[in-house]
Amino acid sequence: MPWYLEAMVATDEALMRQVQSGDLSVFEELVRRYRQPLFRVTSSKLGDRSVAEDVVQEALLAAFAARHTFDPHFSFRTWLWTIALRLCHKHWKRSASPRSSAVVCDPAQTESATSAAVGVLEGLLQSERSELLQQALTELPEPQADALRLRFFGGLPYDEIAAAMDSSVSGAKQRVKHGLERLAERLKTLSGVES
């Protein structure tokens, strides 16, 4: 989009100020902007597309209902992602479905595993529907898997991942880094690639 058109596009925070001022129809633009990225992350996290659709709807409704609590000096996107992640966690706890335990990686093999699987990994990360990727993500520790989902499916920068996950920026970077390392090792194992 040309720079002069970008300048005409309202920021999320400006749209929320309008919503807070009573122009409720403007919220539809925020829904349009965030429905798909929210769905990609929640679908990956919950593993069920219909439940993910419900959680996305619930997150958007919760944001709308809490519109007066939003502070436009902060990022709307981070605020919305925090709501969505909390609702995923709440749903996950309610469903009491068992999660796989974390895969423990040998640090000496991590670097070679990461570089060997990087091409496969990038392709899988761009196709969030990959069953292999979904399986590997469910086997990661939840903070690492969530950080990867926010980074690659949600497109969030590290500072917003940190805010959404209530961690430091360096903590968010570490979660993504270690998550990628574990994911690469796990994908190698799942796909039968030899070291």
- Name the nearest CA neighbour of 178 among 123, 104, 117: 104
For residue 190 the two structure tokens come to 């799942």
Give the burial class of 187: count Cβ atoms within 10 A of its Cβ; 0-12 exposed, 13-18 middle, 19 or more buried.
Answer: buried
For a pLDDT cut of 90, what percent of the chain falls above it?
55
* 107-191 topology per CATH: Butyryl-CoA Dehydrogenase, subunit A; domain 3 (1.20.140)
* Structural fold of domain 3-95: Rna Polymerase Sigma Factor; Chain: A (1.10.1740)
The residues of the chain that CATH labels 1.20.140.160 are 107-191
Average of per-residue pLDDT values in the chain: 80
pTM of the model: 0.67
Q: Which residue has the higher pLDDT, 176 or 119?
A: 176
d(CA 136, CA 73): 37
What residues does CATH 1.10.1740.10 cover in the chain?
A: 3-95
DSSP state of 11: P
- Which of 132 and 157 is assigned the larger pLDDT? 157
Angle at 59 between CA 49 and CA 82, to 5 degrees: 105
For residue 123, the model assigns a pLDDT of 56
Q: Name the pLDDT band for 193 (thresholds 50, 70, 90).
A: low
E strand or H helix that includes residue 31: helix 27-46
- Does position 63 have pLDDT exceeding 70, yes or no? yes
